[in-house]
Structure 1
Amino acid sequence: MSDPMVSTEQLAARVGAPDLRIVDASWHLDSRDALEEYRAGHIPGAVFFDIDAISDTGSRLPHMLPQPKAFAEAVGALGISNRDDIVVYDSAGLFSAARVWWTFRAMGAERARVLDGGLPKWTEEGRPLEKGLPAPPPATFRAPFKAGLVRDLPGVRRDLGTGGAQVVDARPAARFAGAAPEPRPGLRSGHMPGALSLPLSLLIDLEGKLKPAGELRAAFAAAGVDPGRPVTATCGSGITAAGIALALARLGNEWAAVYDGSWAEWGALSELPVEIGA
């Protein structure tokens, strides 16, 4: 796998290419309306990927992965096929774009990358935006599901119990330690016993770009994580965990899994153990 990131310069040189599909994956935990922000201005040619809508809407957990058939229908309606180069970005720089990148990979896409620095870097450089909600011609997307990139609750419990994979938590350190409350009501504070803390913020530079490989290796080492061994990433609801997988892909480990339910599932189940402290 080549580097999972693409620069704004590289993307700008290819805007309008017939095999390029640009995806706005912006998502907010607060009350901001990502779709309205997309309508007000997005990278030319980009379609909007609604993380909450393109999900398993029958699950009690937030934005869980949809079934492959439902995913294929949804992204096909956005004009995306398996043959396309897919570039995903978000309005934060690097946040929810990693989740959609990982989702495309789990659904079999081989040519998905993330825009380094996202929409903020694009706009800071004075690059063009367009408004509105485009209606691209539909395409056919086939979704050969890669189950190895996804962990469910039994799988993450097995990882913790056997040590077969390092479980790495991307939430802020205070939430991991139980010193800060969870933003979702009804969830306990703390972390899974045996999990390692590596906040996503430590993998991103001040421009909202993924840090270079050397700095990423140092961050993983400081957290006690061996990037060459199997990793299962977790977070609050499976969004920032994908940033761990993205960073590992830059280091050559393209098979990091994401615990889809993450703390939204674990923290809500009183029968599961919780540890407090760093």
Structure 2
Amino acid sequence: MSEDRSAYLVETDWLNERLDDPLVRILDVTGMLTSEFENIARERAYDEGHIPGAVFFDVASAKGALSDPDAKLPWTWPSKAQLESAMAAHGVGNDTKAVLYAAAPRPGIDLGQMWCTRAWWVMHHFGVDCAILNGGFEKWLAEGRPVSTEPVEPPPARFIASSDGRHAMATKDDVSAAQADSGVCLVDALSAASYAGTDEKLFGPRKGHIAGAISFPARNTLSGKDLTFADRDTLTARFAERGLSADQPVITYCGGGIAATVDAFALKLIGNDRVRIYDASLMEWSADDALPMTDPSTADDG
């Protein structure tokens, strides 16, 4: 593993001891989306209570802080200039450690950690020193740790990206190439029902999964307690059950490139540095009839 797991995850004890550290920037990335993909979490969650010192960071809106505003699809990989501007606006400099956390506003529906992993996946691959709060806001609250309702205006900062991060994302051409390459594994991070074509929630005109992909729902990366990730041995075993290892090239996808980052992040936790996410995911793939999908619910491929 190129970096220790602790470089990617921090525990509540660690953060609680550093609430007054000027070089630690806490970012609340909670997402509560309307039908128009607008994030209303600031007034519905952040304003009602957040970790002291946390800055609200909207990555969940379709054209949020880390999404290309000119792209046709939501949640599209940002430019280097946009990333640098977003970091500076939220008080993250090159000497800052950013800690990401989220609440799960609708337990059983939203997987709060997916907004953390989406932000982490983008920020990390642009060179931001960032980590996710293991267990999220639920664990913080359950432990009786301090909460504030005071809005936070971050101090000015300057951030210079070390990369454009595009080595961490895949295009539909990359996915097509992977379908013909048995050495690359395509991983569907959506629910088992979505993979099987029986989920009513669709991310495009076709249901089912990308032909050749295996199913590994993002929720399988969690321990089952709040939003805590499973330990390394458990994750390694769960991935191994699906034929995934720490040294295998992998492309993860979902509906719009969000849940895919949960699986990708978990693979990083077990030491896999050969992971990319298909940024446009099913929103793009399912809209193109020329791109093969499998719908087990009808036993038809196409």
The answer to whether TM tops 0.5 is yes
Matched AA of 2:212: G
| SS of the residue 2:113 aligns to | coil
Aligned-pair RMSD on alpha carbons? Answer: 1.7
Deviations 1:77-101 (A, max 9, x none): 1110122111111102523111111
Runs of 4+ in structure 1 deviating by more than 6 angstroms, as ranges, are: none
Matching residue within 81, 96, 111 for 1:69: 81
| SS of the residue 1:201 aligns to | helix
Residues in 1 aligned to 2:200 and 2:294: alpha-carbon distance in whole angstroms = 14
Residues in 2 aligned to 1:180 and 1:272: alpha-carbon distance in whole angstroms = 20
Deviations 1:159-197 (A, max 9, x none): 22223421111100110111113344x431011111111
Tell me which residue corresponds to 1:14: 18
Q: Does 1:125 align with 2:127?
A: no
Tell me which residue corresponds to 2:180: 161
Structure 1 residues 275 and 199, CA gap change in structure 2 (3 angstroms): same
Residues in 1 aligned to 2:274 and 2:132: alpha-carbon distance in whole angstroms = 17
How big is the shift at 1:130?
Answer: 1.4
Residues in 1 aligned to 2:289 and 2:100: alpha-carbon distance in whole angstroms = 36
Matching residue within 222, 241, 259 for 1:222: 241
Residues in 1 aligned to 2:56 and 2:271: alpha-carbon distance in whole angstroms = 29
| SS of the residue 1:69 aligns to | helix
Q: Does 1:173 align with 2:192?
A: yes
Q: Does 1:38 align with 2:36?
A: no
TM alignment of 1:131-210, pairs within 5 A = 131-143=149-161, 144-184=163-203, 186-207=204-225, 208-210=227-229
Residues in 1 aligned to 2:76 and 2:166: alpha-carbon distance in whole angstroms = 14
Q: Which runs of 5+ in 2 are unaligned?
A: 105-111, 298-302
Q: Which runs of 5+ in 1 are unaligned?
A: none
Deviations 1:232-272 (A, max 9, x none): 11111111111112111211123411111011111122221
Matching residue within 86, 89, 99 for 2:98: 86
| TM-score in terms of structure 1 length | 0.93
Residues in 2 aligned to 1:23 and 1:183: alpha-carbon distance in whole angstroms = 30
How big is the shift at 1:120?
Answer: 0.5
Tell me which residue corresponds to 1:2: 4
Of 17-26 and 155-164, deviating more is 155-164
Of 156-165 and 40-49, deviating more is 156-165
| SS of the residue 1:268 aligns to | coil
TM alignment of 1:96-107, pairs within 5 A = 96-107=115-126
Tell me which residue corresponds to 1:60: 72
Matched AA of 2:253: T
Residues in 2 aligned to 1:82 and 1:265: alpha-carbon distance in whole angstroms = 34
What is the aligned length? 276
How big is the shift at 1:29?
Answer: 4.5
Matched AA of 1:98: T
Residues in 2 aligned to 1:82 and 1:268: alpha-carbon distance in whole angstroms = 39
Q: Does 1:50 align with 2:58?
A: yes
Residues in 2 aligned to 1:156 and 1:26: alpha-carbon distance in whole angstroms = 30
Identical columns (%): 35
Structure 1 residues 162 and 112, CA gap change in structure 2 (3 angstroms): same
Matched AA of 2:206: R
Contact between 1:94 and 1:204, CA under 8 Å: does it hold in 2?
Answer: no
| SS of the residue 1:113 aligns to | strand
| TM-score in terms of structure 2 length | 0.86
Matched AA of 1:56: D
Residues in 1 aligned to 2:287 and 2:33: alpha-carbon distance in whole angstroms = 18
How big is the shift at 1:214?
Answer: 1.2
Residues in 2 aligned to 1:156 and 1:43: alpha-carbon distance in whole angstroms = 39
